[in-house]
Structure 1
Amino acid sequence: MNDVSAEGSAPPRRTWRQALSLYAKPASLRMLVLGFSAGLPLLLVLGTLSFRLREAGIDRSTIGYLSWVGLAYGFKWVWAPLVDRMPLPWLTTRLGRRRSWLLLAQVMIALGLVGMAINDPAQLLSPLVWCALAVAFGSATQDIALDAYRIESAGSDAQAALAAVYQTGYRLAMIWAGAGVLWIAARAQGAEVAGYAHAAWQTAYLAMAVSLLPGMLTVLLSPEPAPRPVPAARSVGEWLQGALLDPFADFWRRYRWQAVLVLALIAVYRISDVVMGIMANPFYVDMGFSKDEVAAVTKVYGVVMTLVGAFVGGLLSSRLGVMRVLMLGAVLSAASNLLFAWLSGVGHDVTSLIFVVSADNLASGIASAAFIAYLSSLTNISYSASQYALLSSMMLLLPKFIAGFSGDYVNAHGYEAFFQATAWLGAPVLVLVWLAGRVVPRAQGQRSVDSRSSRE
């Protein structure tokens, strides 16, 4: 499997020291904090929320359907052109196009989390769902602006390192939004109170809203990427042409029929992880694991293996090429789901939980770092926000839709059969990665040529 540069030739091999030095640059350090802000909301409207809902007595089928809140991430390409082109009153003149949208999205997320903290799903579910939708919409908007900021902040030779650092911050936030929120809720509830306690979850979600402050501060203190010129539109139709149609037409023009293969790979690459993840927390609750046990395992072992996975994934991508690591990540992601099937037969055993969570986080970190670098390599810098939003949205649409039925599948067949089925979902991914590694690189040579022509 051969990686190629934007010019169609093999990229120069870095020494290990050169690859490591990319992680110490200021852009990488900023991306660590911003990656944390990006990763924080996801579990709070999906994974951790499913733990909270299951503990509150909400049935598994309802929890599965509520995972469709996450489809907001799958449709973010719809408003991505607005984030890419439209200035915000007052904010854009002071912060720039990318940072103004980042700050607005972070404020929206924080307000939505406060709403989720206040509303009790055991009493009335719908207000919490609406607040979760607001968080998901704000989070998806933050992703659009942040992906464009990351791509425009450094050259293509540094994107793998930025992706790995971004993924490290992202995964740390997911640990905080998963293990941290459970730990806070358990401390607020106290050992003397068993079962569901709304006040404990309220405290935990308010703490998550406060956790967005470092990201907001980073946005305010970070430099805006050099603004690229946006041609003045003479009419609404011309503006829509430039904002909505041109980014997608450019992608199809550069990849032609290979675009179908690229989009197919993107659509299914994370399917095993996404479909399985919706039922992971209900599984922990049904297996009898307490909030403290789940928090302790994911906080300690999950953090370590996530850091190792993201770092190894980025380092190997820089050293060996993205496509090789993409294949490795696909294999590991599917295989780690089989460990959950094994755990369902073991039952309530903390040692086994440690092993399974560690392996799952290691696999996910490696796969995610390589996948982000792969998506970044496909974009044209002239349409970075729109094209990256389209590609990353494709990653979630099919998996999130299928995940909505995960509760029904578990109710009908049990957890062991469910986890085995999610592992088999990863089989087509291996074929698509193999094909993309051999067919698509022939189209990559056109990328830089079209990128230059689109700017001229």
Structure 2
Amino acid sequence: MRAELGRKEIPDASVSNRVDWRAAIFNRRMLACVFIGLASGMPLYVLYQLVPAWLRDEGVSLTEIGLFSLVGIPYTWKFLWAPFMDRYRPPLLGRLGRRRGWMLFTQLALLFSIGGLGLFQPQSATLVIAWVAFAVAFFSASQDVVLDAFRREILPDAELGLGNSIHVQAYRISSLVPGSLSLILADLMPWDSVFWITGAFMLVGIAMTLVVREPDSEVPLGGGLRATVVAPFVEYLQRKGWQPLLAVLAFMFLYKLGDNMATALATPFYLDMGFTKTEIGLVAKHAALWPAIFGGLLGGVVMIRVGINRSLWLFGVVQLVSILGFAVLAASEAHLWLLALVIAFEYLGVGLGTAAFTAFIAREASRAFAATQFALFTALAALPRTFANASTGAIVEETGWVSFFLLCAVLAVPGMLMLLWVAPWRRAGTLESAV
């Protein structure tokens, strides 16, 4: 019975008429996934693309910039407050409903905290900037908790793979704002104006929140400590057991470790190579974005054909090999065509790997405890981005860029080995999740 809950096989699309794929793609749920991705991704790219570029442009050292990754700690601990967002409505905004109320609360907070970053000077107020960035990360992580639950509740099981793939691509597209537009604007106007313009893009998410309806939820409001905090973890243990849980948690930490570290200091790396902020905004970011989007969409199609498990194997290999391209770039002269080529291949692997990884997380989570279980799994996935990335600046200054990227490729191997336990090749996997 336990296996039936999470291991249902998806028939080949060519022989199945149970799913109207045209109707599955062109509906309001998929449109909502687009806006969810845009609202969710933008704050993260502010922290991991725009802020490092700003700090480096103002003369902050690579070691200090690397340590700024620690402001992402809320992404790794969001499962602690996720149960309360699952059970209670926010103050003042509760009339919008549990999900929509928290969505609006966090989105308004993000608009003002992102804009507030530019009020301070990096050389004289680095610590203050770190605390404001921490606030951005906290509100962003909290928004992710409710948006993940909202997405899980509006998507039927048959649309999980496609919906999550569209969400991931919209997430990537949001990087055009802090990773491209904002960098170009930084060559034309002061940084404080850049941050307020960037923060204003949260209005996209706010508009979506005000338009959509509150989804039906299987989680009742209120409840004691056991119902709020303990029940989501007990449910997973009863459904899977301790050993599968530990294996899944280890996999979620390791699978994106090398990839996350390789791209942690991407913008400072491009600046150190001699590229201008405008070149980075126009060439590097677009060369990363569109292959990642194509990779994610391709990943969604491949998952339909071969399943999640085999996709994790195939895409993991591409992801690992693509990291080596950065080592080639670091050892070469600063040519824009080479920069675009290396980044395009790397982010093709990122798009493929992220699509399968996100679908895997959705499959593992129960609809009845969507916010808490999603938060736990994505928090584990965020650990490398927060703690391992904090050491990247010191590693680069000690070893140089080439050796650093070779190390990242080696660190991608353990995550591939974990697939032997969590996603065996012979078990094709599924796009359906636990009930």
Shift in CA distance, 92/231, structure 1 to aligned 2, threshold 3 Å? closer
Please give the alpha-carbon distance, in whole angstroms, between the structure 1 residues aligned to 2:181 and 2:22: 30
Q: 1:272–1:333: 8 Å Cα contact kept in structure 2?
A: no
Corresponding residue of 2:119: 118
| Alpha-carbon distance between aligned partners in 1 of 2:222 and 2:47, rounded to the nearest angstrom | 39
2:369 to 383, 386, 393: 383
Deviation at 1:182, TM superposition (A): 0.8
- The alpha carbon displacement at 1:299 in A equals 4.2
Alignment check: 8 A CA contact 1:274 1:403 kept: yes
CA contact (8 A) 2:315 2:349 kept: yes
Over the matched positions of the two proteins, sequence identity in percent amounts to 27
Change (3 A) 1:5 1:223: farther
Q: Any unmatched runs of 5+ in structure 2?
A: none
Q: CA deviation at 1:404?
A: 0.8
Deviations 1:153-173 (CA, angstroms, capped at 9, x unpaired): 011110111101111110001
Question: For the Cα contact (< 8 Å) 1:258–1:443, is it kept in 2?
Answer: no
Aligned to 2:36: 34
Query: 1:97-151 CA deviation, whole Å, 9 max, x = no partner?
Result: 1111111111111111111021121232122111111110000001000000010
Specify the alignment match of 1:209 in structure 2. 199
2:159 equivalent in structure 1: 158
TM-score (norm 2): 0.93
User: 1:344 aligned to 2:330?
Assistant: yes
Q: Could you list the runs of 4 or more consecutive aligned residues of structure 1 that deviate by over 6 angstroms after TM superposition?
A: 439-444
Superposed displacement of residue 283, structure 1: 0.9
Q: 2:7 & 2:334 partners in 1: Cα distance? A: 52
Judging changes above 3 Å, is the alpha-carbon distance between structure 1 residues 341 and 97 closer, same or farther for their aligned structure 2 residues?
same
* 202, 208, 229: which one aligns with 1:244: 229
Partner SS state of residue 438, structure 1: coil
> For residue 223 of structure 1, what is the aligned residue in structure 2?
213
Does the 8 Å CA contact 2:111/2:202 hold for their aligned counterparts?
Answer: yes
Q: Secondary structure at the match of 2:174?
A: helix
In the TM superposition, residue 71 of structure 1 has moved relative to its aligned partner by 1.8
Distance 1:249 1:339, change over 3 A: same
List per-residue Cα deviations over 1:165-190 (Å, max 9, x = no partner).
Answer: 111110001232212211121233xx
Distance 2:358 2:226 in 1: 28
8 Å contact kept, 2:309–2:427: no
Q: Does the 8 A contact of 1:51 with 1:282 survive in 2?
A: yes
RMSD, aligned CA: 2.3
Equivalent residue runs for 1:7-406 within 5 Å: 8-15=7-14, 18-19=20-21, 21-93=23-95, 95-188=96-189, 199=190, 201-230=191-220, 233=223, 239-256=224-241, 257-406=243-392
- Give the 5 Å matches for 1:405-416: 405-416=391-402
Q: Is the 8 A contact 2:6 2:363 kept in 1?
A: no
Output the amino acid matched with 2:197: A
Instruction: Tell me the secondary structure at the aligned position of residue 424 of structure 2.
Output: helix
Match status 1:424 vs 2:410? yes
Alignment check: 8 A CA contact 1:186 1:291 kept: yes
Superposed CA deviations along residues 302-345 of structure 1, whole A, max 9, x for unmatched, are 33212211211122122321112212222222222110110001
